[in-house]
Structure 1
Amino acid sequence: LFTPHFVSKHSLSSSSFSSFIILSHPQSVQKCSLFNTGSNSWCELSLSLPRVLSSPLSSNLLSSSKGLLCFSIPRSSCFVVYNLLAKSLRRVNFPTCLFDYESLTMVSTDNGFKLFVLSSAGSSNQALVYSSTVCSWRRFEGSTQILSESCHQKGVFYNGCLFFTTLEPFHVVYFHLESGRWEGSTAVLPRDLTFVRVASDGYQKLYLIAGVGTSGISRSIKIWELGKDEDQGVDYWVEVETLPEMICRKFVSVCYHNYEHVYCFWHQGLICLGCYTWPEMLYFKVSRGTWHWLPK
């Protein structure tokens, strides 16, 4: 599941809506199903991708941001960024001919987009940032904390930085997109966590979504919001929600307590939570404080 954000002028059939979730499946690359978050229903129409991206085994969807989709194409030396609204393609050449990367995150900006890539070359780790405004890559020092197996989710954009979570011992670290500096969050994490994810609206709110339990078994799933004490100059996590017990039992059972499969993202006032091995998805309406399953 990916979450492009469309402007309200974009319409399908006779209705116009501002945002929806796209369902993309590797075995059905020709069409993408659309879920209207306003009406809480699946749309009758689906989106078609260009031929270069929709042929079987021809592309891999890596990241999305506000209507932009970033693909990799096997045996090519570039990424492909597709604008769903304008139906236009842009090829972004790799920084080097033989380019081995671990993870990619795309961030839409007011005048284009940025690509953030983690790469390991031999014994060195690098973070690379591509800017569509200057059409060039910048190289920075990487972070061993989140490379390879530790990077189990895309970077989450918040207040000019990309936030990541690590495997145990759990940490929240972030990368400044402009300066290329890495830092660790000073907010102390809650105790007895079994897995950790973050989600953000991009600018004002950063959330921590985590399982709480012992011996690697989640007994509950909670949401915290990042708070700031301006006088003391410190950050802290404030608990705001607990997943209802019956829903929590179902969710952890479909994960088989293998939390590496858990993904999480923010979409238009919703905190979405799912498992890559299960076709259903949970979402939390922040404004109403209610939990719902995405209808099949």
Structure 2
Amino acid sequence: MTQIPARSSCQIPATTSPEMDPGIWSRLPEELLERILALLPMKTFLNLRTTCKHFKFLLFSPSFLSQTKTPPLSSFILLSHPQFHNLFPLHDAFFNRWRMLSLSPTLPPKCASLRLVSASNGRLCFSLPNSFLICNLLTKSTKTIEFPRYPFTSTTLISASPSSPRSSPSLHGYKIFSLCYSPLEYWAFVYDSRTEKWTRSESFDPILSQNSHQDAVFFNGSLHFTTREPFSIVGFELDTGRWWKSTVELPQELVFVRLVSDSNANNGNLYLVGGTGRDGISENLKVWELREGETKVAEIASLPELMWRKFGSVCYHNYEHVYCLWHDGMVCVCCYTWPEILVYKVGRKTWHSLSKCPFLPEKWSCGFRWFSFSPDFYASV
């Protein structure tokens, strides 16, 4: 009988993974390290930025940006109210949810009281007693820019080019447009982040100036404004500092009018939003499109009667409180004395109402200022 040999008592010891020699990691080729980091989720990579200076500045490296596949972030409608100290409610239209944003961890302690005056491509522009403060909340970076002159009637922040992680960070600049005045003259000042300097245009006739109750709208290389009655459109070329008056014919039945642009770049569309009626009383709200090369506007929407009755009762025929903005394919009609927003979805051609923010106390009845806010990691300050 064949006997089976006894199993050897010698056992193979369990293997353990030795730690990687730090010297190997220190000699890892730069391009290989960037490819590894580019595969990480953005939230994980942002946490790594605090570990060393190299990781901190890698986010803006052209070679790294060419490899990363960071998905676009959600955009929000942001509410600024004087009684919300450094707190800003955000509405996410995609998920139909409200969030609360706090600026306390980002801004310097001296900025206890700020007034938000403009927003553009991930940047927020605040007004301080003697300066502007530009802020990117995602990168927690800020920059203080001294006023060119005081007082000013309006301020608009404009992105110099579309934000893109594929382009050089030097192209991610911005400009600040500010209208200042004295008893006899008006001036326009423009700050360019790439030169870090203010330039002043020639003084202009305030009769042709913008309506002081609305912000400038950037479209096709110029800032556009509507004048007081008789209503017309005037523009300011950012590159040349030249003022011009449009020959576009506006509807005769206008009682008030605002402008909205769907783009911060040199393309897109320009829309007019206005109340129509007679004897200074608006009976409806309409939207027109201003098409390139045409001298007349084309009506594209009219607010349903029941929705107008509600909005008209809120305004109390004080149309100076009405302002408009563009947000994610929507024309938003707002009022300083109303905590809700009228929304016209251009693609669907439908009207909607954005309900009141649940964080707002019942007694607040004025001071509501809305902005379109799209967080952007690559918006440098």
Same fold (TM over 0.5): yes
Counterpart of 2:139 (choices 72, 81, 86) is 86
Q: Does 1:26 align with 2:26?
A: no
* Cα offsets for 1:172-230 (capped at 9, x unmatched): 1111110111111211001111100000012310000010001111111110001234x
Counterpart of 2:283 (choices 219, 234, 246) is 219
CA distance in 2, matches of 1:140, 1:177: 10
| 2:302 counterpart letter in structure 1 | T
Aligned length: 274
SS in 2 for 1:246: helix
Match of 2:156 in 1: 105
SS in 2 for 1:221: strand
CA distance in 1, matches of 2:110, 2:214: 23
- Contact 1:24 1:32 (8 Å CA) reproduced: yes
Counterpart of 1:145 (choices 207, 224, 227) is 207
Using the TM superposition, give the Cα deviation of residue 10 of structure 1 relative to its aligned residue in structure 2, in angstroms: 7.8
CA distance in 1, matches of 2:228, 2:179: 17
CA distance in 1, matches of 2:203, 2:324: 24
Match of 1:67 in 2: 122
TM-score by length of 2: 0.68
CA distance in 2, matches of 1:189, 1:83: 38
Distance 1:228 1:16, change over 3 A: closer
Q: Does 1:242 align with 2:302?
A: yes
- Contact 2:86 2:114 (8 Å CA) reproduced: no
Match of 2:365 in 1: none
Identify, as 1 or 2, the structure richer in strand: 1
| 1:123 counterpart letter in structure 2 | L
- Contact 1:107 1:157 (8 Å CA) reproduced: yes
Distance 1:228 1:48, change over 3 A: closer
Using the TM superposition, give the Cα deviation of residue 147 of structure 1 relative to its aligned residue in structure 2, in angstroms: 4.9
- Contact 1:34 1:47 (8 Å CA) reproduced: no
Q: Give 1:193-204 correspondences, 5 Å limit.
A: 193-202=254-263, 203-204=267-268
Q: Give 1:50-61 correspondences, 5 Å limit.
A: 50-52=107-109, 55=112, 58-61=113-116
Using the TM superposition, give the Cα deviation of residue 124 of structure 1 relative to its aligned residue in structure 2, in angstroms: 2.1
CA distance in 2, matches of 1:53, 1:70: 16
Gaps of 5+ in 2: 1-41, 45-70, 162-171, 357-381
- Contact 2:209 2:225 (8 Å CA) reproduced: no
Q: Give 1:1-296 correspondences, 5 Å limit.
A: 17-43=73-99, 45-49=100-104, 50-52=107-109, 55=112, 58-74=113-129, 76=130, 78-95=131-148, 99-110=150-161, 111-143=172-204, 144-145=206-207, 147=209, 150-202=211-263, 203-229=267-293, 234-296=294-356
CA distance in 2, matches of 1:53, 1:180: 34
CA distance in 1, matches of 2:222, 2:43: 29
Distance 1:128 1:16, change over 3 A: closer
Distance 1:54 1:27, change over 3 A: farther
Alignment RMSD (CA, Å): 2.2
Which piece of structure 1 moves more, 109-118 or 207-216?
A: 109-118
Distance 1:37 1:124, change over 3 A: same
CA distance in 2, matches of 1:264, 1:183: 23
SS in 2 for 1:249: helix
Greater relative contact order structure (CA < 8 Å, 6+ sep) = 2
Match of 2:14 in 1: none
Distance 1:53 1:42, change over 3 A: farther
TM-score by length of 1: 0.86
CA distance in 1, matches of 2:143, 2:302: 42
| 1:276 counterpart letter in structure 2 | Y
- Contact 2:187 2:203 (8 Å CA) reproduced: yes
Distance 1:194 1:117, change over 3 A: same
CA distance in 2, matches of 1:187, 1:270: 24
| 2:314 counterpart letter in structure 1 | V
Using the TM superposition, give the Cα deviation of residue 100 of structure 1 relative to its aligned residue in structure 2, in angstroms: 2.2
Using the TM superposition, give the Cα deviation of residue 146 of structure 1 relative to its aligned residue in structure 2, in angstroms: 5.5
CA distance in 2, matches of 1:62, 1:142: 23
SS in 1 for 2:320: helix
* Cα offsets for 1:259-280 (capped at 9, x unmatched): 0000101011010001101111
| 1:102 counterpart letter in structure 2 | T
Distance 1:251 1:146, change over 3 A: farther
Gaps of 5+ in 1: 1-8
